[in-house]
Amino acid sequence: KAGVTQTPRYLIKTRGQQVTLSCSPISGHRSVSWYQQTPGQGLQFLFEYFSETQRNKGNFPGRFSGRQFSNSRSEMNVSTLELGDSALYLCASRSQGLAGTDTQYFGPGTRLTVL
């Protein structure tokens, strides 16, 4: 099976712009989560989508939004970019297996730099 893919891998934007990141989960996985990773902050949960519905949301401002399509692919949008949005954005998918086997599989991430 192909792994989780994310596009683009690198992005450079300027303050005030908006950006859209894309994630394709592992085939058959219906849950897609997004995380922001910054130095010293670990992985901060943004939101999770399951069957095209946002199921969980982290503590991020409304500038961060997402959606999921019927094929489980997901997009994340950040509007009015700020310097502090510079980070690695990771997407993870999971199959919703039994509790003992519930594992998220991560993509390689999109490195966003805001100038």
Partner 1 sequence: DQQVKQNSPSLSVQEGRISILNCDYTNSMFDYFLWYKKYPAEGPTFLISISSIKDKNEDGRFTVFLNKSAKHLSLHIVPSQPGDSAVYFCAARNGNQFYFGTGTSLTVIP
Q: Which residues bind partner 1 (CB under 8 A)?
A: 4, 6, 31, 33, 35, 40-45, 48, 50, 55-56, 90, 92, 99-100, 102-109
Q: DSSP letter string over 10-39? A: EEEE-TT--EEEEEEPPTT--EEEEEEEET
Closer to partner 1 at the Cβ: 20 or 44? 44
Cβ contact 114:14 at 8 Å = yes
Minimum distance, C-beta of residue 36 to partner 1, in the bound complex (Å): 11
CA angle 28–95–37, rounded 5-degree value: 110
Closer to partner 1 at the Cβ: 82 or 102? 102
Minimum distance, C-beta of residue 6 to partner 1, in the bound complex (Å): 8
What the block records as the tokens of 72 is 């489980």
Minimum distance, C-beta of residue 20 to partner 1, in the bound complex (Å): 19
